[in-house]
Chains A and B, each alone.
With several copies, the nearest count.
Chain A
Amino acid sequence: MIDKRVSSLTEAVADVKDGSTVLVSGFGGAGSPIDLLHALLDQGASGLTLVSNNAGNGHIGMAALIEAGRVAKILCSFPRSAQSQVFTEAYRAGEIKLEVVPQGTLAERIRCGGAGIPAFYTPTSGGTPLEEGKEIREFDGQRCVLEPAIKADIALVKAKAADRWGNLVYYKSARNFGPIMCTAAKCAIVQVREYVELGDLDPEHIVTPGIYVDRAVLVENPIDEEKMLKAGEHRKPK
């Protein structure tokens, strides 16, 4: 019998290896798997490459991983925010590498990683400094760059509900990178606020079919990122 549900956050991330590439869903606080990130912090894997839209806020989530020295590199579209000091300091100190990728190119590279497309041409970043080092080609007079797929070892994703097959639905703008990240990782680990019975999700409404999900873990009351940030909480490895 297929059952993707695991009993704890600890179990969900137990086998993440040093040096793994980890996709992290979320756009700002919406859809950020903070609980899974903290489980990973406690688990101890290091030398990680993170792929996410941002680079973490305050001293929690991705920022806590960076602060604990676990992150060797980050690929993101926008590492700068009002509360991204942890990343900024690590970057200026040369402790972390950064690859800035336009947001749509980042999304498409991840989708292609899951879709078996090794590379694609896009007009985005053509004629800009971000085209440097990339293969350039014109299509219909438009300057395009060749972009490679992103594949990962792990995806950490936050969704609304899962059934035992791992079928997922999301919640409002927390959907963002979740669906594509589940497809591009060898092991997609999803925290959900709710388990539902097989068949409760309408087949017309499932956003991520269970084939893309390896583990689902119930977090009924996920960490409220905004509240933690306001409280100035520093999350350290346990």
Chain B
Amino acid sequence: MSEAWNNDQIAAFIARDIPDGAYVNLGIGRPEAVANHIPADKEIILQSENGLLGMGGVASDNERDMELVNAGKKPITMLPGGAFFHHADSFAMIRGGHLDVCVLGGFQVAANGDVANWSTGEPDAIPAVGGAMDLGVGAKQIFVLMTHTTKEGEPKLVKEISYPATARGACTRVYTDLAVLAVADGTFIVEDMVDGMTLEELQKRTAAPLKAQ
């Protein structure tokens, strides 16, 4: 197998798969990179749960305004046509099913679409959920961007999540450093793999049955 995809490569795949005209929320962390890979021929409108629609890129040093930040609290810019609104209106937008896609980071995704991304369930961890559960139930599609396995090599695509759930049956696609998978009818369907990877090899790194496309 050749090298695993880096986060920018994965983000580019996601940007490719988001349709023109889509309204999209990008989760904090790895998913933020998707914004940098949207093809010039697509108009994709980014929502941020802290009350922004029509978000532009990360602010340059001279644009920097700490009262204009994204959900990750990084200073950003707005596009012409953007709008501000308050938090209840923002989550009405999210919960109400108006976003076409939300890209979340993930700890685990199950073959039935269950997503775990907010807590590893360790007893001494400080619980912190943010907007993940609202996005999980609200967006029409949930894409999860994550490594295929943990640092220790444990599969993150599983039959049943063992970490606390973020949302049930929500995930429709998974983008990892090794593969692109659709989640449908309780199964992971492999759409793409890194060069040289075989389905058999990928299956070894995955704790739920894979299906070829």
Give Cα distance in the complex from A164 to B79, angstroms.
13
Interface residues of B in 114-133 (CB under 8 A from A): 119, 124, 126-133
How many positions in chain B have a CB within 8 Å of any CB in the partner chain? 58
Q: Are A199 and B81 in contact (CB under 8 A)?
A: yes
> A98-B127, A116-B138, A180-B87 given as contacts; is B51 within 8 A of A175 (CB)?
yes
Q: Are B87 and A107 in contact (CB under 8 A)?
A: yes
Q: Are A103 and B134 in contact (CB under 8 A)?
A: yes
Q: Please tell me if A29 contacts chain B, counting CB pairs below 8 Å.
A: yes
B144-168 vs A, CB cutoff 8 Å, 1 = contact: the mask equals 0000000000000000000011111
Contact of B54 among A27, A165, A172 (CB under 8 A): A165
Q: Please tell me if A46 contacts chain B, counting CB pairs below 8 Å.
A: no
Q: Interface stretch among B63-71, B101-109, B177-185, B202-210? A: B63-71
Q: Are B88 and A180 in contact (CB under 8 A)?
A: yes
Q: Please tell me if A68 contacts chain B, counting CB pairs below 8 Å.
A: no
- When C-beta atoms are compared, the residue in chain A nearest to B124 turns out to be A92
- Please give, as numbers and ranges, the residues of chain A lying within 8 Å of B52 by CB-CB distance: 173
A53, A104, A122, A167: which has the most chain B beta carbons within 10 Å?
A104
> A77-B128, A102-B134, A209-B93 given as contacts; is B98 within 8 A of A183 (CB)?
yes
- When C-beta atoms are compared, the residue in chain A nearest to B118 turns out to be A128
Minimal beta-carbon separation of A158 from chain B (angstroms):
9
- Please give, as numbers and ranges, the residues of chain A lying within 8 Å of B127 by CB-CB distance: 79, 98, 100
- Please give, as numbers and ranges, the residues of chain B lying within 8 Å of A211 by CB-CB distance: 23, 45, 47, 53, 93, 98-99
- When C-beta atoms are compared, the residue in chain A nearest to B49 turns out to be A103
A203-217 vs B, CB cutoff 8 Å, 1 = contact: the mask equals 110110111100000
Minimal beta-carbon separation of B127 from chain A (angstroms):
5
Q: Please tell me if B73 contacts chain A, counting CB pairs below 8 Å.
A: yes
Q: Are B84 and A175 in contact (CB under 8 A)?
A: yes
- Please give, as numbers and ranges, the residues of chain A lying within 8 Å of B134 by CB-CB distance: 102-105, 124
Q: Are B129 and A78 in contact (CB under 8 A)?
A: yes
- When C-beta atoms are compared, the residue in chain B nearest to A186 turns out to be B97
Minimal beta-carbon separation of A2 from chain B (angstroms):
5
Give Cα distance in the complex from A210 to B99, angstroms.
12
> A103-B131, A167-B81 given as contacts; is B95 within 8 A of A110 (CB)?
no
Q: Please tell me if A108 contacts chain B, counting CB pairs below 8 Å.
A: yes
How many contacts A-B (CB < 8 Å)? 210
- Please give, as numbers and ranges, the residues of chain A lying within 8 Å of B80 by CB-CB distance: 198-199
Minimal beta-carbon separation of A148 from chain B (angstroms):
15
Q: Are B91 and A91 in contact (CB under 8 A)?
A: no
Minimal beta-carbon separation of A49 from chain B (angstroms):
18
Contact of B167 among A110, A127, A207 (CB under 8 A): A127
A194-238 vs B, CB cutoff 8 Å, 1 = contact: the mask equals 000011010110110111100000000000111000000000000
A78, A142, A179, A180: which has the most chain B beta carbons within 10 Å?
A78
Q: Please tell me if B187 contacts chain A, counting CB pairs below 8 Å.
A: no
- Please give, as numbers and ranges, the residues of chain B lying within 8 Å of A84 by CB-CB distance: 126
- Please give, as numbers and ranges, the residues of chain B lying within 8 Å of A173 by CB-CB distance: 48, 50-52, 67-69, 84
Contact of A80 among B47, B128, B168 (CB under 8 A): B128
Contact of A172 among B23, B84, B119, B126 (CB under 8 A): B84
Q: Are A2 and B68 in contact (CB under 8 A)?
A: no
Q: Please tell me if B39 contacts chain A, counting CB pairs below 8 Å.
A: no
Q: Are A116 and B87 in contact (CB under 8 A)?
A: no
Q: Please tell me if B43 contacts chain A, counting CB pairs below 8 Å.
A: yes
Q: Spell out A's residues near B (CB within 8 Å).
A: 1-2, 27-31, 53, 77-80, 84, 87-88, 91-92, 98, 100-105, 107-108, 110-111, 113-117, 122-130, 142-143, 163-165, 167, 170-180, 183, 198-199, 201, 203-204, 206-207, 209-212, 224-226
29 contacts between A and B (CB under 8 A): A28-B69, A30-B50, A53-B87, A79-B128, A84-B126, A98-B126, A100-B129, A101-B129, A103-B49, A103-B91, A103-B134, A104-B91, A104-B138, A105-B133, A116-B95, A123-B95, A123-B137, A124-B95, A124-B137, A128-B165, A172-B68, A173-B50, A173-B84, A175-B85, A176-B87, A180-B86, A203-B83, A211-B53, A211-B98
